[in-house]
Amino acid sequence: MGKNYKIKSIVVETVLSTIICAIGVCLFIEAGLGSDTIDVLVDGMHRHFSITLGQADQLFTFTFLILAFLCNRQYIGMPCIAYSIMIGFMIDFVNQWIMPLHLSEASFFIRITCVLLGQFCFALSYGIFQTVEKGMNTVDAVIYFLCKKTKIAYKWLRTIFDVIFFIIGIYFGGVIGIGTIFSVCFTGIMTDFVHQMIVKVKRKKGIAYMEIAGEDVA
């Protein structure tokens, strides 16, 4: 019974993380105020190589899946692989509903609200997925590998990665704006905060979660 509950919990959290992340991607891009850093890169790939957003995201995700498997495979398992496969399709599916809203033509207030919601979606998605056994997303798996090697906190290494994604995305022609700057500054900090909150809740309720080497959650 316990094992079945654990499996169901992993499946539910993996699917939930994927859906939330896809919503965040679409809200950011369709708001037209600049994508988050990964989406700047994905959007740039989408425009530069004339492929769909989902296909571009899959290319990015599978590239980091290989890197994560090579350097930090202890955090890579079926949930991570399932996420890598599902995320591109989920983005294309969600975008069918968000694109017709023409968010880029809405008022600035609505557009900036979409950016903030999108940013929250990313932090929540990443934070949830970091606690799923062998379910850490590929970028975070690489970042946590570097955290162990350099002793630099996740939130700061994540910010460095965001700057790199930002620069490459601009080169490929990705859309940037207020949302992009917000993402560079706050993705790492917000994700770290949400992750710690989720860990505290799971500890309090006695729910199993994946422990990350070296993490310190009071």
Residue pLDDT, tens place only, 19-28: 999 999 899 8
Torsion angle in degrees (nearest 10) through CA of 173, 175, 180, 184: -20
Residue 196 forms part of a structural domain: yes
What local confidence, expressed as pLDDT, does residue 135 receive?
72
Residue 214 lies in a domain: no
Specify burial of residue 96 (Cβ count, 10 A radius: 0-12, 13-18, 19+): exposed
**In 3D, which of 42, 17, 87 has the Cα closest to residue 180?**
42
Q: Is residue 213 part of a domain?
A: no
CA atoms within 13 A on the CB side of 19: 6
Average pLDDT, the chain: 85
Residue environment code for 106-124, b if the CB has 16+ CB neighbours within 10 A, otherwise e: eeeeebeebbeebbebbbb
**Residue 216 lies inside a defined structural domain of this protein:** no
Query: Identity (one letter) of the amino acid at 108?
Result: F
Q: Which residues are CB-contacts of 121 (< 8 A; sequence separation ≥ 6)?
A: 20, 21, 23, 24, 27
Whether 108 is in a domain gets the answer yes
Is the pLDDT confidence value at 217 over 80? Answer: no
* 210 is a domain residue: no
Task: For residues 202-218, give the mean pLDDT.
Answer: 64
Per residue in 83-126, pLDDT tens?
Answer: 878 888 898 899 999 999 999 899 999 999 999 999 999 999 98
pLDDT at 218: 47
pLDDT in tens, 70-86: 988 887 888 888 887 88
Q: How many separate domains does the chain show?
A: 1
Domain span at residue 81 reads 2-205
Q: What number of residues does the chain have?
A: 218
Any domain includes 176: yes
Q: What is the reported pTM?
A: 0.81
Q: Which is higher by pLDDT, 112 or 4? A: 112
Q: Does 211 map to a domain?
A: no
**Angle of helix 154-172 versus helix 138-150 axis, rounded to 10:** 130
Q: Which residues pair with 76 in a beta bridge?
A: 135
Average pLDDT for residues 195-215, to the nearest whole number? Answer: 74
pLDDT of residue 123: 92
What are the helix (H) ranges across the chain?
A: 2-31, 37-48, 53-72, 78-98, 108-129, 138-150, 154-172, 178-205
